[in-house]
């Protein structure tokens, strides 16, 4: 005899769940629940880091491009021994071939050359600047050296001083300039002893500085090659 029995609904559900249970799937679901959020956050973080790096790279590239493309145009001002401006202009325009700078350099050179002062430091600097703008081995170098030997400024400064006022610097050719100036001689108490007018002729060459040392002592690159002068006699 066969005995019959009936499976209750609850037991049928438990058996179905047991038959559908898969250990691999269950472990995968548990792993996703525990670490899925962390992996997603890490992935989002890496994406944001990559985007930030890309933005930084583009910004840096832009700055480099701008620095390469940027162009600074210096403005040059030439001053005399007393700090007075005598010429100025944009550096590209104020090149060594600019006649304004040539005349300004000669202007300052004459003032330094003929200066006599009781200040030994100032006198020494003036002489140094004079020789810095004379071509080596030139006739001007010999002429100026003889001038200083015949009447050393340091000896003259014991009894008198001389101030120089340049009136004009006129080109007579592309390399020669005629200069007129006034020298005022005073005693050590400041009283005027004499006021003399002078005229000179000076030939120059241009040799732009090639390093910082030359640029410091002769920024224009003008060198005197020949020099001569004479006192202008007063008309009676």
CA atoms within 13 A on the CB side of 30: 6
CATH number (3.40.50.620, 3.10.450.230, 3.40.50.300, 3.40.50.720) of 75-232 reads 3.10.450.230
pLDDT (0 to 100) of residue 182: 96
Q: What's the average model confidence in pLDDT over 158-173?
A: 95
pLDDT at 164 over 50: yes
Sign of CA dihedral 146, 147, 152, 153: negative
pLDDT for res 121: 95
pLDDT digits (tens, 9 = 90+) for 5-20: 454 555 555 555 554 5
pLDDT (tens digit, 9 = 90+) per residue, 36-59?
A: 566 666 666 677 767 776 766 666
Query: CB-based contacts of 78: which residues, under 8 Å, 6+ apart?
Result: 85, 86, 87, 88, 101, 104, 105, 108, 219, 220
Return d(Cα 57, Cα 163) in angstroms, integer.
62
Question: What are the tens digits of pLDDT across the range 63-106?
Answer: 665 555 545 445 455 555 555 555 545 444 444 567 888 899 99
pLDDT higher than threshold 70 for residue 129: yes
Of residues 170 and 56, more confidently modeled: 170
Q: What percent of the chain has pLDDT over 90?
A: 48
- Domain extents in the chain: 75-232
Q: What is the mean pLDDT of the chain?
A: 78
Tell me the C-alpha distance between 164 and 106, whole Å: 13
Global confidence as pTM = 0.61
Q: What percent of the chain has pLDDT over 70?
A: 61
Q: Where are the alpha helices (DSSP H) in 70-179?
A: 99-114, 120-132, 139-150, 153-156
Lowest mean pLDDT of 10-14, 99-103, 192-196, 208-212, name the range: 10-14
């Amino acid at each position: 005899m066969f005995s019959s029995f009936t499976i209750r609904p609850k037991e049928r559900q438990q058996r179905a769940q047991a038959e559908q249970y898969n250990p691999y799937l269950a472990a995968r679901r548990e792993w996703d629940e525990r670490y899925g959020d962390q992996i997603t956050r890490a992935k989002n973080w890496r994406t944001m880091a990559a985007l930030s790096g890309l933005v930084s790279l583009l910004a840096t590239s832009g700055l480099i491009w701008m620095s390469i493309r940027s162009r600074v145009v210096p403005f040059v001002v030439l001053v005399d021994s007393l700090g007075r401006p005598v010429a100025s202009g944009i550096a590209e325009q104020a090149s060594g071939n600019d006649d304004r700078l040539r005349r300004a350099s000669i202007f300052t050179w004459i003032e330094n050359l003929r200066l006599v002062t009781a200040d030994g430091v100032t006198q020494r600097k003036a002489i140094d600047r004079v020789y810095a703008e004379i071509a080596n081995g030139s006739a001007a170098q010999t002429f100026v050296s003889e001038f200083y030997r015949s009447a050393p400024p340091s000896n003259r400064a014991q009894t008198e001083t001389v101030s120089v006022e340049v009136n004009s610097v006129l080109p007579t050719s592309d390399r020669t300039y005629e200069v007129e100036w006034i020298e005022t001689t005073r005693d050590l108490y400041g009283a005027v002893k004499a006021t003399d007018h002078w005229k000179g002729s000076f030939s120059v060459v241009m040799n732009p500085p090639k390093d910082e040392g030359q640029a410091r002592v002769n920024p224009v690159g003008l060198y005197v090659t020949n020099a001569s002068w004479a006192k202008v006699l007063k008309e009676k």
